Structure 1
Amino acid sequence: MSILLLLLRIVSYPFFILLHLLFVLFSLLLRTYETFTSQSTSADRLQDEPQIPPPKHLALILVPSKTRRKDEKSALGKSILRGIEWSGEWGVEELSIWDGQGLTQSVLPNLMKTLSQNITQHNHNKLPPSPPSTPPNGPTQDISPDEYDEEGPVSPSPQRKQGKSLVKETRVGSGSGSGLGDEVRSVTIYPGPSSNKSLKIHFLPPSASDEVIVNLTKRYVERKKDVSEITVRNVDRDIKEQLHFTSDPELLLIHHLSPLPIWRSYLPRSPPELWGYPFWSLRITEIYQYPSPLPLLHHLNPLILSFRSSSLPFLRKLGYSIALPVNTNSDGYGILHREEWNGAIGAWSKMEQRLGK
């Protein structure tokens, strides 16, 4: 019997190898066809579509590589700044950022300084010219003395006398018994001096995932909470309190800080993963990961553009019938690309969340 099974395995191996090769080949053909036929999710095309309310809470997962690259921290910082800028443009109220390895926390002091400077410059450019006698209406950052880092304050910007500050930082968990200490950092950004609309940003540390449930269980035990009081609604409320969430994420965008090796880019795409993001809050969430493009195809863009500008009608028609392959590394390796963001917006515009109704 064992010899028969061994013979069956030997005979089946070539069949399974052939089946796998056919699957890979079919996947390559399908992805190539999609690359040259699907239109780019450009901002202009999205503006032509019916406007829908943006998600109240957007989660951004920035996935570091297993072997850390030298410029990965820089790519993470630029990706965070882009996510914040585009969230403000889109009208998102809440943005949570996660990498699962503490990389965000290591760049947070410099990131906060850059963020404050960018907002100062952005709003300075939007303000109308003031008379010489009018004092400057600059943005501020309100941070209490106990919220200073060891490197000093995040920004030396002055305090405004009237209105809200444009950047306000708070740390969540201190003195609340949550067990997360001062690790969960929340920053509230006001996009303009006269705007009441704010964007709340949460920088989630690695301890904000599984340890949240552990710390919450310990707190229930210490308070001798009755089992009948531990309901789903109460757990939801307590976890949101620990993470400082106002609402659950409605859209989750996954971005890899390191591009795939060329040989892996030709294999079938891997399914999206959460990479340790706090799972409890993901009740009804649209999870989006930009389809990894086939490498080297973007080098055909000059040829396609030459077709579009040709004097021959059939070449122009051919050029406009072919989509330009996207190069997601055109702004730098590992940096969040606008095409990824617009793809998430397009996915959000097509989905429907009815909470089971």
Structure 2
Amino acid sequence: MPVPDDQKSLRHTPLHALHVSLGGKMVPFAGYDMPVQYPAGVLKEHLHTRAAAGLFDVSHMGQIALRPKSGKVEDAARALERLLPQDIVAIAEGRQRYAQFTNKDGGILDDLMVANFGDHLFLVVNAACKDADEAHLRANLSGDCVIDPLADRALIALQGPKAETVLATLCAAAPSMKFMDAGPHEVAGIKCFVSRSGYTGEDGFEISAPASDVERLAKMLLDNPDVLPIGLGARDSLRLEAGLCLYGHDIDTATTPVEAALEWSVQKSRRSGGARAGGFPGAEKILAHFDNGATRRRVGLRAEGRAPVREGALLFADADAREPIGQVTSGGFGPSLNAPVAMGYVPTNLSALGTKLFAEVRGQRLPLAVAAMPFVKNTYKR
């Protein structure tokens, strides 16, 4: 069968052949040919991850080592703080932190994970942004750091309540790790970088492995009856239930961390009055939002009925209002809740829990309410 023109230029992860052999339905995503689901289907994959363990291929993500030219990891951390509002210096060796690159207007260029590996920093960035992120780092930090994209590594995620038990059979260090621990560990004799984190709201691990070894490692994990392969469809519904942002949808270059309800990710040391306040792109606007509030805010939304309210749906203050007050940025059916869930932006004065709103879906105004996130309680091991 001939390959469609729109797929000829798609890149493959090192696990592409495995996805095909497992019956993965392949779709274009961030320039890659990726599995959206397997024969079990999105619903079963989602619920299996919540009940046992799911294995995700996230090798399309960017992995970058930031190596200080001085030999001191603190110097790399201070340099990186010029590009984002998080306290990177305070990340202890063997730990990682969620962060955002910001622009001069306070918007988010990308969100990422930053780990301290002792002699360098390890960054994981979004697939669609990784080339721009690397260029951004080179343009701003080359005087202080060697920017080393780790193109020869793959990345997989093992998520769910049985993830620890499964990984412990291959990695002795797994049970002792806590949420957001990260560092080099051997997994089945393979030298990997392992973090206890993920994108599902469940306990779990992300494992960076050499591309040449990752298929063997993935097969060993899938040999465990508690593990199923999970595609992009369930990955999206899991992260939505967890209230986690998807870059380019819930956050973008026109959204500040405060508008996105990500204040928790900006440490006090970088805020107004902190020891190292400001000094990052868009600091004036972002710190003003911390001090005075923003005019809009990302909120969780629960519909009263069964119909999913999807991305792009306009939000209204009442059923008869002519002008929208906001928009849904992510939405769908939450299998764990057996009900629709969504996220979107509304004026801050309409962001209180329980506030009644209406979404326009196929010409009808459907009632919904501002709801607490995460929609499903997270199970991180702290």
Q: Shorter-normalised TM-score: what interval?
A: under 0.3
**TM-score normalized by structure 1?**
0.20
**TM-score normalized by structure 2?**
0.19
Computing the radius of gyration over CA atoms, which structure comes out larger, 1 or 2? 1
Which structure: greater helix fraction? Answer: 1
With CA pairs under 8 Å and 6+ residues apart, which has the higher RCO, 1 or 2?
A: 1
Which structure: greater strand fraction? Answer: 2
